[in-house]
Amino acid sequence: MLKRLLDIILSASGLMLLSPLYGLIAFWIKRDSPGPVIYWSERIGLNGKPFRIAKFRTMRVNADREGPAITLGNDNRITSSGHWLRQYRLDEIPQLWNVLTGDMSLVGPRPEAPQYVADYTPEQRQVLSVKPGITGLTQLDYKDEATLLVGPNWEERYRTQVMPAKLATDLTYVHNHSFAGDLKILLKTAYRLLYPYTQEKQPALRGRHLFLIDTLLIMLAYILSFALRFDNIRFWEVMLAYIRLLFPFLGLKLIIFHRFDLYRRVWRYASIKELIAVFDVKSVIMIQLRNALKSYIVIQGKPGCRFQHQHWGSSAI
């Protein structure tokens, strides 16, 4: 009951909040290739009941008649807009309607096409005891499934290797799912959508000396910026207080740098993903630094404190 309530609230909210995006995506799809905006496909849901799943169309019209129901690696049926929509999972947004109508849940096993469900063993059919989901353990683990399906024997590989492995993961969810576990999967999904570059395999930490040099440069940058900003008669006294604050700021900055894998990237050629990473890091750091400095200045401005607020700006350059 609680899970269904969460499904209704989040799917209805998502449909309303993302409605402006629907128009932009629909316009792009129609300009990119002729055909409908939404693609409906049959899937097997709860207790083996078939339903029609909704997606933004990412392939040419009648692509399902030209090839398999599964998308292959480097599939030439995918449109240019479809490649981008699939990369960021935006093609699955219309499935919020399936969640709202009760055919699907936000979290659950990924629904399969009827021809593949027909091959399930009795044990594997246990995945049909819960509603299929937009996201889940399998969807997170096999987000690049199409890259595994290359070569002439792709379907045999899917039936004998990929599908059994996915169903084993789905069975783990079926036997152990909980409301708290669903929330954790939703948060993990949101994180991967917002920060897809952190999921890529990065090289190991490229030398402790680089980390040390960066630490010293950050400290020097903060100290020099302080020296250029303040030159009052009690400069060194205030500077010592500032340096004591510098170490928590420095620790915070280095932790955020490491968390966003900035020390695991090759910076000779920076792509848009690296630029986004730097922007995210700088935004987080500046917000934290601003709040901490405001708190410190307020505290220093209180009566009885060793340094009064006017010392910070009375003799500024």
10 Å CB burial of residue 136 (0-12, 13-18, 19+) is buried
Give domain status of residue 258, yes or no: yes
Residue appearing with tokens 């709040």: 291
Contact 171, 123 (CB under 8 A): yes
Q: Which run of H or of E encompasses 147? A: none
pLDDT at 190: 84
Give domain status of residue 232, yes or no: yes
The rounded distance, in Å, linking the Cα atoms of 14 and 190 is 13
63 and 150 assigned to the same domain: yes
29 and 175 assigned to the same domain: yes
Give domain status of residue 253, yes or no: yes
Give domain status of residue 297, yes or no: yes
Domain span at residue 271 reads 208-312
Helix (H, G, I), strand (E, B) or coil at 40: strand
pLDDT at 302: 45
75's tokens:
């599939």
User: Which amino acid is present at 185?
Assistant: I
The rounded distance, in Å, linking the Cα atoms of 85 and 29 is 10
Contact 56, 38 (CB under 8 A): yes
189 and 120 assigned to the same domain: yes
186 and 222 assigned to the same domain: no
54 and 132 assigned to the same domain: yes
Pairing between strand 50-56 and 38-44? antiparallel
pLDDT at 125: 95
What does each of the 317 residues of the chain score in pLDDT, given as a tens digit? 789 999 999 999 999 988 888 888 999 999 888 889 999 999 999 999 999 999 999 888 877 666 666 666 567 788 888 888 887 788 999 999 999 999 999 999 999 999 999 999 999 999 999 999 999 998 888 776 766 666 677 778 888 888 899 999 999 999 999 999 999 999 888 887 776 655 444 444 444 556 666 667 766 776 666 666 655 556 666 666 666 666 666 666 666 666 555 555 554 445 566 566 666 656 665 665 565 555 555 545 544 444 444 444 443 33
Q: Among 142, 171, 194, identify where a domain stops.
A: 194
pLDDT at 77: 83
41 and 143 assigned to the same domain: yes
Give domain status of residue 186, yes or no: yes
Q: Among 194, 220, 248, identify where a domain stops.
A: 194
67 and 33 assigned to the same domain: yes
- Count how many domains the chain has: 2
pLDDT at 155: 75
Q: Among 163, 194, 225, identify where a domain stops.
A: 194
pLDDT at 202: 45
Long-range CB contact pairs, 283-286, < 8 A, 24+ = 284/256, 285/252, 285/253, 285/256
The rounded distance, in Å, linking the Cα atoms of 78 and 87 is 12
212 and 187 assigned to the same domain: no
Q: Which run of H or of E encompasses 50? A: strand 50-56
54 and 163 assigned to the same domain: yes
Give domain status of residue 317, yes or no: no
Pairing between strand 133-135 and 38-44? unpaired
Give domain status of residue 201, yes or no: no
Q: Per the confidence metrics, is the pTM higher than 0.75?
A: no
179 and 213 assigned to the same domain: no
240 and 144 assigned to the same domain: no
275 and 297 assigned to the same domain: yes
